[in-house]
């Protein structure tokens, strides 16, 4: 799907969600509590900003079909990351998602020998299945909601990826996520185990000259509901370091997700992604707008 078409689809859903809450209600037999469908991660699945959670996208419960669209911008000192995506949640059991990422090297592209404003991009196709538990309604149980998922990623800069030591331009991540919402303490907790070969989430390909094997990585999130429509918290995500030319570092963020209405949410964060492609100290602001039905 071309990125311009994706953006039009995302903006259309955002506009529909904001302007037609009555239509959204008519599409649902039930409805989730605010923010219990997660927000949109940078890879398109329901979760936090950096981490994928076990929650299923959309506002729908087991009685119907929900959907969401998002546009996200991450401004770093030397790079920009823009993501747009859509996701469908089916009976709060299955999630299908698609996201398009665009990574702009700005002036750093010239210093890296790529040319000023050189861009990397990738398409991410996701499938998530809730296998057991309910993060919200199983309050009398210790068992969290557990989901399994896959994300197939296809990067677009094969010649550059091979030149820096990357082995593949496409790869598939596999993960298992556990999420629990503790209403009595206003807490949202998640732990996700991902196995991946991705370099910089896949934008720099998969596998490398240092190693070309799947390795387990951790994603964790913890948030506090300060109000029924405001969640603040922190995330941490480990990443493999497969390329010899530049060590890849782990990422973290501090975030606030604010639900303006049942159908529109804004997430803001301060993200620290460490060094990227030899360029040090990439910390910046993350802003995401999401519409959901």
Partners of 194 in the β-ladder: 175, 217
Structure confidence by residue, pLDDT tens digits, 23-69: 344 444 447 888 888 899 999 999 999 999 999 999 988 888 999 99
Structure confidence by residue, pLDDT tens digits, 66-115: 999 999 999 999 999 999 999 999 999 999 999 999 999 999 999 888 99
What CATH number is associated with residue 146?
Answer: 2.40.160.40
Residue 3: the pLDDT is 47
**DSSP β-ladder status, 145-155 and 170-182:** antiparallel
**Domain membership of residue 18 as a residue range:** 3-292
Angle at 56 between CA 51 and CA 61, to 5 degrees: 150
- Put simply, whether the predicted model's pTM sits higher than 0.85 gets the answer yes
Neighbours of 139 (CB within 10 A): 12
Residue 1: the pLDDT is 44
Total tally of structural domains belonging to the chain: 1
Which residues 6+ apart lie within 8 Å of 154 measured at CB?
Answer: 122, 123, 169, 170
What mean pLDDT do residues 240-256 have?
A: 95
């Amino acid at each position: 799907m071309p990125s311009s078409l994706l953006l039009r689809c995302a903006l259309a859903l955002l506009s529909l969600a904001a302007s037609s809450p009555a239509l959204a209600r008519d599409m649902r037999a039930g409805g989730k509590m605010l923010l219990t469908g997660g927000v949109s991660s940078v890879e398109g699945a329901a979760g936090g900003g950096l981490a994928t959670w076990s929650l299923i996208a959309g506002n729908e419960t087991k009685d119907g079909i929900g959907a969401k669209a998002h546009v996200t911008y991450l401004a770093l000192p030397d790079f920009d990351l823009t993501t747009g995506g859509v996701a469908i949640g089916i009976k709060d059991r299955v999630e299908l998602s698609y996201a398009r990422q665009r990574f702009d090297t700005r002036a750093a592209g010239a210093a890296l020998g790529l040319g000023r404003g050189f861009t990397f991009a990738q398409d991410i196709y996701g499938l998530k299945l809730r296998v057991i538990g309910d993060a919200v309604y199983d309050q009398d149980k210790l068992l969290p909601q557990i989901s399994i998922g896959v994300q197939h990623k296809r990067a677009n800069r094969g010649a550059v990826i091979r030149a820096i030591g990357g082995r593949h331009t496409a790869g598939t991540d596999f993960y298992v996520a556990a999420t629990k919402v503790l209403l009595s303490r206003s807490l949202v907790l998640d732990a996700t185990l991902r196995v991946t070969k991705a370099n910089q989430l896949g934008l720099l390909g998969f596998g490398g000259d240092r190693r070309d094997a799947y390795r387990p990585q951790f994603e964790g999130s913890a948030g506090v509901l300060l109000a029924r429509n405001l969640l603040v918290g922190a995330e941490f995500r480990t990443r493999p370091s497969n390329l010899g030319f530049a060590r890849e570092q782990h990422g973290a963020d501090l975030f606030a997700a604010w639900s303006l209405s049942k159908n529109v949410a804004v997430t803001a964060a301060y993200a620290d992604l460490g060094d990227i492609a030899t360029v040090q100290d990439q910390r910046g602001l993350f802003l995401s707008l999401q519409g959901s039905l």
